[in-house]
A and B are shown apart, each in its own frame.
Chain A
């Protein structure tokens, strides 16, 4: 009995010395990564999003036509000659003006993805910093800052953005700014809530004691610790942004010709769907698949990073 114990103890001691076979502690991020990659739907979605991004960057290499060039021959009979076919080089057919739909879909994907990702980025940077600052400073400043958010989020921003587009012209940069500046409000609220729960932790106190400035505490200690929830929210925000841009473009207020986006292509395709269904089908498929995938990735990230699940 006694010897047996001794043997076990010895083995343990050897293991400790050699450092083999000891269970290592896992950080939150490692844990989340493991959980995320076990979620098949999310991984496949991530892969498809990757493919679509590659398509938007390199797709134009395979196009036989440029996105603004009119194929007069195909225009003469859009229903027959403008059909999707490999021989003519119009893989996705032509649009109603005889332009190559493949090249235009590539171009539209670029714009839609760029709007989605960049404006989410703008929104997240503003929202995170604002929310973290508000939560961290607290007191009267917090009250005023949150009251501002409250008032702003009670405005019908969809309408304000469209108004902005009308009055200052249809510039793509304006879409970024307008959408991004509008959608940071929820982010700010979420981050503030998280910050409030973090700011009384010991390591923040330690940073205070070391004489770290307030701004640096916010940027170096608070922001990285709310990153998890920010990431989840971002992955759900991007499809929202893509949809928003498509919505504006569908109304004919978004990107300016000859540039295009998924929404603009869909709105053109809708007009001709009775006899040229492909003009609607291709951009629609891209939009819907992208939205699906981003939603699955978002769900996967939430499951992976949600502290309640631990």
Chain B
């Protein structure tokens, strides 16, 4: 198992290299320079700036310098906020995103699995239909629709919760963002769990367990639960992506100050190094999360050889 984990993380290295290369190439190929102003700049100043950011070196050398800094955890200077490095701006906001993300993941997984199991165990009864119709609604309502609807209902019509802001993560400020982000994920997980459990419940080993006269609870918890979780676990990777992309909308809409906000602002301000920094950071987390998912999967499913 340890060997497998090690190998799995080694495999992530080429992916990471491709990721940095792609983002770097995109930045290099982007038309114009971030320092071109409408007035123009004296050539000497431009040359100085280019030298400061290593823009006068050949591409491969620039890439190697970037990579070298990256390995040491330095995402480079922000092109827009001249006094800040990308690190200064990104790390505090990462904490905010992580709080929202962790809560929504937790809620999505527990609620989603519970809903899915209830629906599957009442297959084709009214409970099943009600739950699955709700889930369908959750799937077609993307985060950027959910967020305004929630604000409209819960903070504008009924003045229950604040419409935005962060305030060091007070729970009132946390509820709407977390809920807006989790809805879509709950629905997805519920659908996957339901399908998976229905399939598991009709398999032979469950019939054997029933024939042995095991109590219902034991059959579900001891025999059906683990195989049921397989497709759910393999959905964890995309789930994480949902949290990351959801965070872009949540930060813009609720003004929570998470990492997504830097990404969008960086994009609009043409702060290439910021956009790149966030892409690389998110990419690393994403790849790491995929690896972890694979490892959990191998742990649950005895059929997987490693």
B18 contacts A166, C-beta separation under 8 Å: no
Pick out which of these stretches binds chain A: B87-95, B207-215, B277-285: B277-285
Closest approach, in angstroms, between the C-beta of A87 and any C-beta of chain B? 28
B142 contacts A243, C-beta separation under 8 Å: yes
**In the complex, which residues of chain A have a beta carbon less than 8 angstroms from the beta carbon of B30?**
167-168
A252 at the interface (CB under 8 A from B): yes
A239 at the interface (CB under 8 A from B): yes
A 152-178 contacts with B by CB, 8 A: 152, 154-156, 158-160, 162-168
**In the complex, which residues of chain A have a beta carbon less than 8 angstroms from the beta carbon of B15?**
150-151, 154-155
B 13-37 contacts with A by CB, 8 A: 14-15, 18-19, 22-23, 26-27, 29-31
B263 at the interface (CB under 8 A from A): yes
Closest approach, in angstroms, between the C-beta of B237 and any C-beta of chain A? 9
Closest approach, in angstroms, between the C-beta of B133 and any C-beta of chain A? 10
Closest approach, in angstroms, between the C-beta of B19 and any C-beta of chain A? 5
Chain B 226-250 interface 0/1 with A at a Cβ cutoff of 8 Å (1 = within): 0000000000000001001100110
A124 at the interface (CB under 8 A from B): no
Given contacts A151-B18, A159-B279, A247-B249, contact A167 B144 (CB under 8 A): no
Counting contact residues on chain A (CB < 8 A from B), the size range is 35 or more
A291 at the interface (CB under 8 A from B): yes
A239 contacts B140, C-beta separation under 8 Å: yes
CA A310 to CA B288, docked complex, whole Å: 40
B144 contacts A156, C-beta separation under 8 Å: no
Given contacts A155-B283, A163-B275, A280-B148, contact A295 B29 (CB under 8 A): no
B139 at the interface (CB under 8 A from A): yes
B131 at the interface (CB under 8 A from A): no
A273 at the interface (CB under 8 A from B): yes
B141 at the interface (CB under 8 A from A): yes
Given contacts A158-B245, A159-B263, A160-B279, contact A288 B136 (CB under 8 A): no
Other-chain residue from A152, A156, A269 in contact with B244 (beta carbon distance below 8 A):
A156
Given contacts A167-B30, A251-B252, A295-B136, contact A158 B144 (CB under 8 A): no
CA A150 to CA B276, docked complex, whole Å: 22
User: Of all chain A residues, which has the CB nearest B148?
Assistant: A270
CA A55 to CA B208, docked complex, whole Å: 56
CA A295 to CA B276, docked complex, whole Å: 35
Counting contact residues on chain B (CB < 8 A from A), the size range is 35 or more
A246 at the interface (CB under 8 A from B): yes
B148 contacts A273, C-beta separation under 8 Å: yes
A246 contacts B144, C-beta separation under 8 Å: yes
Question: Taking chain B's interface residues, is the majority helix, strand, or loop, or is none over half, making it mixed?
Answer: helix
A295 contacts B23, C-beta separation under 8 Å: no
**In the complex, which residues of chain B have a beta carbon less than 8 angstroms from the beta carbon of A156?**
241, 244, 279, 282-283, 286
CA A152 to CA B19, docked complex, whole Å: 9
Closest approach, in angstroms, between the C-beta of B42 and any C-beta of chain A? 26
B145 at the interface (CB under 8 A from A): yes
A263 at the interface (CB under 8 A from B): yes
Closest approach, in angstroms, between the C-beta of B251 and any C-beta of chain A? 11
A136 at the interface (CB under 8 A from B): no
CA A269 to CA B31, docked complex, whole Å: 33
**In the complex, which residues of chain B have a beta carbon less than 8 angstroms from the beta carbon of A287?**
145
A288 contacts B140, C-beta separation under 8 Å: yes
Given contacts A167-B27, A243-B142, contact A159 B282 (CB under 8 A): yes
Closest approach, in angstroms, between the C-beta of B71 and any C-beta of chain A? 19
CA A263 to CA B249, docked complex, whole Å: 12
B144 contacts A267, C-beta separation under 8 Å: yes
Closest approach, in angstroms, between the C-beta of B89 and any C-beta of chain A? 16
CA A292 to CA B252, docked complex, whole Å: 26
A-B contact pairs, 16 of them (CB 8 A): A152-B18, A156-B283, A162-B263, A162-B267, A162-B275, A168-B31, A239-B140, A246-B142, A253-B268, A270-B148, A284-B145, A288-B140, A288-B141, A292-B140, A295-B136, A295-B140
Q: Which 9 A-B pairs have the closest CB atoms?
A: A167-B30, A291-B140, A166-B267, A270-B148, A250-B144, A154-B15, A159-B279, A158-B245, A156-B286
Known: A159-B279, A246-B142. 18 other contacts (CB 8 A): A150-B15, A151-B14, A155-B286, A156-B282, A159-B244, A160-B279, A162-B263, A162-B275, A163-B23, A163-B26, A166-B275, A168-B30, A266-B144, A266-B145, A267-B144, A273-B152, A277-B152, A288-B145
